[in-house]
A and B are shown apart, each in its own frame.
Chain A
Amino acid sequence: MKKILIGMLVILFVIGVAACGNGDATDVSGEVETDGGGEEEGGDGEVGGTLYFYTWSEYIDPDIYAQFEAETGITVVEDIFGSNEDMYAKLIAGVTGYDVLVPSDYMVAMLVEEGMIAELDHSRLEETISYLDPTFTNPPFDPNMGHCLPYFWGTTGIGFNWEDWDEAPGSWAYIFDPELAGNFSGQISLLDDMREVFGAALIYLGYSSGTTDEAELAEARDLVLGMKEHLYSFESDTYEDLMLTGETRLAQGWSGDIFVAQAEDENIDYIIPQEGAVMWVDNLCITVDAAADPERLERVYMWLEYLNRPDIAAQNTNWVWYASPNAAAESGIDPEILGYPAIYPDDETFERLQYLGTVGDALDIYSRMWTEIKTE
């Protein structure tokens, strides 16, 4: 039996070594350290240390980590969350140690309210801020970028298939008008996302996508209920797959997702409807505990500066395929991305975009009506 035990230990050891081997292999570029310290990593850069970056999956070109480390000696450790709410729950639970977060617009407002993100010191970022497109430097969820820098932005519009159209379906009516929706009965998907569905319905009705008026919301609810018989389902994760297989012909969706599907099938395209659409911005924010430690804060500002350096921002955009709020980066961005109106809409289209504002206590009305939509 001793032999067996030794055997077990050997197996565990082998697995362990394999695991570490794997880890070592990643040292070459952007090794993500596992334990707290990180100081020993040093490198020949000037600052060194570790920075904890809490973000979405596949939301940065991974090569940037290695380039940053080569230049500054700072190792960036990426941790990921699946939704704004996941991240919020984690911070509310009192987790400390993250340095930079990437929340979406409405979540920034919530985090500011909870006192979980620090104010931005504009004097340290003068050059960086000068690169940004002025359209994004005074967002309603964070006036004058008091706390966060914009990172990427995009829109929620309609995905469609050119096989079905001579002219792009440039109106929410094709989804929300029961008669027009009937043309594609059972082949339309809406996002499984309360705020997005209400946002689109409200915009179609001519109201603000962040209304708190119960009567307007009831009207939006009835609109969705009226077309529900033609709905395939509420889908947030696989709607682009359904479009590719042809099971759905029209889908409410996020710009980036639909472009990925387009790479597979060029008939699939995306349009921002004439009534307007929801736009969102993901931001770079500093946690309060990072701000309390001068050494950590130093690394944070270097990271924010680095991500917004025009060449780096361009490289990142070319990898992520979302629009960058960094105007100075444009010369480095792939013309294919820049020239794509659905990623970089023209000024006139841009005018018709709205943020999903925070709705405060009206969130309860949203939840109640959302439940009514889903259960009826």
Chain B
Amino acid sequence: MTTQIPPQTRQTQIKLDYQAAEYTSFMDRLKQWLFNGYASLFYLFLYAPIFVLVLYSFNKSRFPTYWTGFTLEWYKILFNDHLIGSALKNTLIVSISSTIIATIIGTMVSVGIERYRFRAKSAVDGLLFMPIIIPDIAMAIMLVVFYNLIHMDLGLYTIIISHIAFNISFVAIIVRARMASLSSTMEEAASDLYANEWNAFWRVTFPLLIPGILGGALFAFTLSLDDYVITNFTSGPGSTTLPIRIIGMTRRNITPEINALSTMMLLTAMLLVPLSLWLQRREDMS
């Protein structure tokens, strides 16, 4: 048998190949198109509400669904709102102090668990996950009952303690992930060079952990900043935070002042993220 193909068939073959090629390129284009469409929709859903929110913060009407003209009035009202000011102050006191304390304790816990052996290690390990797994509302109620039991008056302090309690777990998990990616050879090398544990930690382990610690701290700060459920339950007289005030405001009337406030918070977050990335990158380079 020869492999000679009759001219007729060959032509058909070429035509078929050609069609197949056209078909594949059509499929490719379709896939490309679908993927692009999906991606655009995805980003649209993600960012369109933010865009609308920002847009309506400049709306003359006091209703957020009804465009009547451009104004900066709501920003003026926002910056002159003493109640928002004091709520912001409370929020920052809580977030900053709980972030600092939770980051220190969380880092210590993760170093302890990753580098040392001790009894009940697996129990500590498991317990660490508890605040992440427990629903906020359950944790909030437990905390209130506990504070009540030990006769601790609710206020800013109880909010801070509660935030530290849940933030430790989040910080520890992030720092541990970083820790697990580092081999202990560096520290062993340090010991070989007569560094004691203290020096080995501060000169070798800690610098390597910094991206994880920063990431954990930033995460803790964000969680603390917008926590409502736990904060609402553990707050007392004089400790109204920003989320509590915002929710209270929306129960009455949703005015563009809330949009303006959200826009400011958004701006802050947008500044914080590149800042943290920049800090981490610098660390990686040095």
Q: Which residues of A contact B (CB under 8 A)?
A: 1, 4-5, 7-8, 11-12, 15-16, 19-20, 22-23, 25-26, 29-36, 38, 50, 52, 54, 56-59, 62, 77-83, 86, 90, 93-99, 237-238, 240-242, 244-245, 257, 260-261, 263-264
Contact = CB atoms under 8 A, between A and B. Distances in A.
Contacts of A241: 63-66, 254
Contacts of A8: 214, 217, 279
A34 B90 contact: yes
Nearest to A59: B252
Contacts of A86: 232
Interface in B66-98: 66, 68, 82-83, 85-86, 88-90, 92-93, 96
Interface in B186-243: 206-207, 210, 214, 217, 232-233, 235-240
A90 B244 CA distance: 13
B82 A62 contact: yes
B65 A33 contact: no
Q: Which of B148, B154, B248, B254 has the most CB of A within 10 A?
A: B248
B282 A4 contact: yes
Contact of A22 (B66, B89, B252, B282): B89
Given A30-B82, A245-B66, 18 more contacts: A1-B207, A1-B283, A4-B282, A12-B96, A16-B96, A19-B89, A26-B85, A52-B238, A56-B252, A57-B249, A57-B252, A80-B245, A80-B248, A82-B247, A86-B232, A94-B148, A238-B254, A241-B66
B236 A95 contact: yes
Given A50-B238, A77-B237, A97-B154, A264 B62 contact: yes
28 contacts: A1-B206, A1-B283, A4-B282, A12-B96, A15-B92, A19-B92, A22-B89, A26-B86, A34-B86, A34-B89, A35-B156, A36-B238, A38-B238, A56-B248, A77-B237, A78-B83, A79-B237, A80-B245, A82-B251, A86-B232, A93-B144, A95-B144, A237-B251, A240-B63, A241-B63, A241-B64, A264-B62, A264-B68
Given A26-B86, A98-B237, A244-B65, A237 B155 contact: no
A62 B83 contact: yes
Nearest to B244: A80
Contacts, number: 149
Determine the main DSSP class of B at the interface with A: helix
A123 B282 CA distance: 71
A322 to B, nearest CB: 11
Contact of A29 (B82, B93, B148): B82
A194 B86 CA distance: 35
Contacts of B262: none
Interface string B168-196: 00000000000000000000000000000
Contact of B238 (A1, A77, A90, A263): A77
B61 to A, nearest CB: 6
A29 to B, nearest CB: 7
Contacts of B252: 56-59
A57 B86 contact: no
B132 interface: no
A79 B245 CA distance: 8
Contacts of B93: 19, 34
B2 interface: no
Given A1-B283, A16-B96, A241-B65, A34 B206 contact: no
A1 B145 CA distance: 42
Contacts of B232: 86
Interface string B244-260: 11011111111000000
A31 B65 contact: no
Contacts of A237: 250-251, 254
Nearest to B210: A1
Contacts of B154: 95, 97
B28 interface: no
A15 B96 contact: yes
A58 B62 CA distance: 14
B238 A79 contact: yes
A22 B93 CA distance: 12
B182 to A, nearest CB: 14
Contacts of A77: 237-238
Nearest to B257: A58
Given A1-B286, A19-B88, A34-B86, A245 B251 contact: no
B21 interface: no
Contacts of A11: 275
Nearest to A66: B82
Given A19-B92, A32-B238, A260 B62 contact: yes
Given A25-B85, A36-B155, A241-B65, A83 B238 contact: no
Contacts of B217: 8
